[in-house]
With several copies, the nearest count.
Chain A
Amino acid sequence: MAARVARDIDNGAYVNLGIGLPTLVANHLPPDREIILHTENGLLGMGPAPAAGDEDPDLINAGKQPVTALPGASYFHHADSFAMMRGGHLDCCVLGGYQVSVAGDLANWHTGARDAIPAVGGAMDLAIGAKSVYVIMEHQTRNGESKIVERCTYPVTGLACVNRIYTDLAVIDVTPVGLVVIDMVAGLAFTELQRLSGVPMRDAMAAGPAE
């Protein structure tokens, strides 16, 4: 999934990769493109993890893992960092997700379970701020329920904010006319994908021009 997302990120793009699965996208960015990574704790031009022994506790990413800074990097405080997110300056962010709805609502910060300790971080800022919001998640829960839903049952992170969903089965655009499948893993039939999904989708490859 991470590799598939990386292919869709343009040269020159400013990108924020969320904690967890999205972080892996960094390992797959095409070497012929210059893509500038933003981490909301105050660094633009984030580089890969340092060599063992070179970790600097003052140089970390949003997941609090040690990182490096590339030539051309800059440091800034949190208000400036979130201005980049909230002011619409990021071309793209990649977030994890519990659920995405047909309308593009995202749930990714809180299971809503009574004993859960909630934590939100910058997820809500990224959801409303980035020009394109990509969500990367398994197509189904471990119990076999679709994570793509008619309406989110978990507490939402943002409304109508998701542009594209990358799952282990397909790539799906959220459009004004509904969910459109633009790519599927090799060997998967659209009808099978539809059966595993909680909501109707259309097949961009099979369908004619959008209505």
Chain B
Amino acid sequence: MIDKTFACAADAVADIHDGATVMIGGFGTAGMPSELIDALIARGARELTIVNNNAGNGDTGVAALLKAKRVRKIICSFPRQVDSHVFDALYRAGEIELELVPQGNLAERIRATGAGIGAFYTRTGYGTLLAEGKETRMIDGRHYVLEHPIHADFALIKARYGDRWGNLVYRKTARNFGPLMAAAARCAIAQVHEIVALGELDPESVVTPGIFVRRVVEIPAPSGAAVAAPPVESHR
């Protein structure tokens, strides 16, 4: 029998080691696996490289991990936000390394790892600072930049439903990077609102097949929690 469910977040992240590269799902707070991140902070691993679209919002989740000084480097597309004060301070103090990646390249480089692609040519970023020093090529009269996969030891992601085989179904725009990171990391760990019996998920609607997921932890959604509107994003 296969059982990928774990009793608690602490057990699920117990082997994340110093120096690990950890992909963390979420776009802002939508899809951010906050309880797994809290468990990772409690676990104490240091010198982490984090892959996330942003660099933390407010003082929780990714921001809390940064604030605890566990992160050596962050790979992301949009660190500067109205509520990214934790990152901003660390960055200005030179205490965190930033690899800024266009969002589509971030997504595609993560997908490439999961799909076994060695490298790919993309038009995004050609002629910009973010492609400096990268190999380029003209294909069919257009300029492309060569981009490489982003590898990771672990992925922490969040979904709505999971089962003991690791199948996952997400919720609305909280899906974002989850399916890509699950496939890319050597060990994908998912927190889900609800673990359901095998066979309850419609096989037509499973978004992340269990083959990509090693561990599933049930973390119920906060019941009756007030849903605060997030702050408005700064001008892009």
Contact = CB atoms under 8 A, between A and B. Distances in A.
Interface of A: 11-12, 14, 18-21, 34, 36, 38-45, 55-60, 62-66, 69-90, 95-96, 108-110, 115, 117-125, 128-129, 155-159
Interface string B52-96: 010000000000000000000000011111001001100110000
Interface in B220-236: 227-236
A125 B103 contact: yes
A69 B209 CA distance: 14
B80 A117 contact: yes
Contacts of B164: 72
B172 interface: yes
Contacts of A21: 235
Contacts of B209: 44, 74, 76, 80, 84
A14 B176 CA distance: 20
A180 B207 CA distance: 42
Contacts of A45: 165, 203
Contacts of A12: 2
B215 to A, nearest CB: 13
Interface in B88-131: 88, 91-92, 100-108, 110-111, 113-117, 122-130
Given A14-B211, A71-B199, A115-B92, A120 B176 contact: no
Interface stretch (B13-21, B25-33, B40-48, B133-141): B25-33
B129 A110 contact: yes
A11 B164 CA distance: 14
A126 to B, nearest CB: 9
B128 to A, nearest CB: 5
Contact of A60 (B80, B110, B230): B230
Interface size on B, as a range, is 35 or more
Nearest to A157: B128
27 contacts: A40-B103, A56-B172, A57-B30, A58-B174, A62-B233, A64-B230, A64-B232, A70-B199, A74-B206, A75-B170, A77-B179, A79-B115, A83-B115, A84-B212, A85-B104, A86-B117, A90-B211, A109-B236, A117-B80, A119-B77, A120-B103, A121-B78, A121-B102, A122-B104, A123-B102, A124-B124, A155-B129
Given A40-B103, A96-B236, 15 more contacts: A12-B2, A21-B235, A44-B209, A44-B210, A75-B175, A75-B206, A79-B107, A79-B111, A81-B107, A82-B108, A119-B80, A128-B124, A129-B116, A155-B129, A159-B143
Listed from nearest, the 7 A-B pairs whose CB atoms lie closest are A71-B199, A63-B233, A86-B116, A125-B104, A82-B104, A20-B235, A74-B206
Interface of B: 1-2, 27-31, 53, 77-81, 84, 87-88, 91-92, 100-108, 110-111, 113-117, 122-130, 143, 163-165, 167, 170-180, 183, 198-199, 201, 203-204, 206-207, 209-212, 227-236
Quick one: which of A43, A55, A57, A122 has the most chain B CB within 10 A? A57
Contacts of B1: 11, 34
Contact of A73 (B91, B203, B236): B203
A185 B6 CA distance: 43
A75 B229 contact: no
Given A41-B173, A42-B173, A124-B124, A75 B198 contact: no
Contacts of B107: 77-79, 81-82
A36 B163 CA distance: 14
B128 A158 contact: yes
B171 to A, nearest CB: 5
